[in-house]
Amino acid sequence: MPSAIKLIVGLGNPGPGHLMTRHNAGFWFVDVLATKYSLTFRSEPRFKADVCRLTDSGDDCLICKPMTFMNRSGQSVQAIASYYKIPVTEILVVHDEIDFAPGTIRLKEGGGHAGHNGVRDIIEKLGSNEFKRLRIGVGHPGDSAEVINSVLGRPSAEDTEKIMESISTATDLVPQLLAGEFQKVMYKLHSSEKLKDKSEKENDDEKND
C-alpha cells in the first residue's frame, strides 16, 4: 500500500532578498499550493517554520516552510515529524534541482542529497533518506564554480515562467499525492513533460520552415 503524504516541505531561504532566487523554488511551490487552496501560513516558533494545514477529500496534510535557512532545514522537518509522529516515508520535500532544465519537475523516492545542502541536512536530522522528493528544475550554469552564485541568483523572466508552469502542473496533482497515488503522479509528470517537449519541437520546426 503506497504511503500517503502527510507533510509537504518546501525548501528555501527566508527573507525578501531570497524570495525570487532559484534556491527558493521549494518555497514557490508551497506558496502556490497555499494560494490554490486559500490557506495562510502561520509562524510556528517551536518548529522554526511557517506552517499551514491542507485538507482535501478527507486527506489531511501539513505544509511547511523552514525558517532556518537552507543548510539547517532538517531542524524544522525533524521537529514537525517528531511532534506529529509522521513517518519518513510520508514526507515530501520540494526543492530546486540544478541538473534539470527550467520547466522540468520530477518525483523521486529516497536516494542521496546530490550536493543539495537542504536535502543533506534533512537526511542527517531524520537519520533516513527514505522521504519523497519533488525536484524542480532551475537549470545549471554550465560551470560548477558558478553553481552557488546561480542558485542564489534570479532566473530570467523566460525561465521563471517555465518554472512556474511546472509548479502549477505539479500542484494540480497534490490531491493524488495525499491519497498515496505516487506512481500515478510520477507517470503524469513524465507524460506532461514529453508532451511539452513535443510541442516545443513542433514550434521550433514551424519557425524553421
- Give yes or no for a contact between 79 and 48, defined as CB atoms under 8 angstroms apart: yes
Q: How big is the CA angle at 8 (ends 51 and 135), to the nearest 5 degrees?
A: 130
Neighbours of 189 (CB within 10 A): 19
Catalytic one of 18, 23, 113, 116: 23
Tell me how far the alpha carbon of residue 98 is from its chain's centroid.
13
**CA-CA distance, 186 to 177, in Å (whole number)?**
10
Distance (Å, whole) CA 169 – CA 208: 29
116 counts as catalytic: no
Catalytic residues: 23
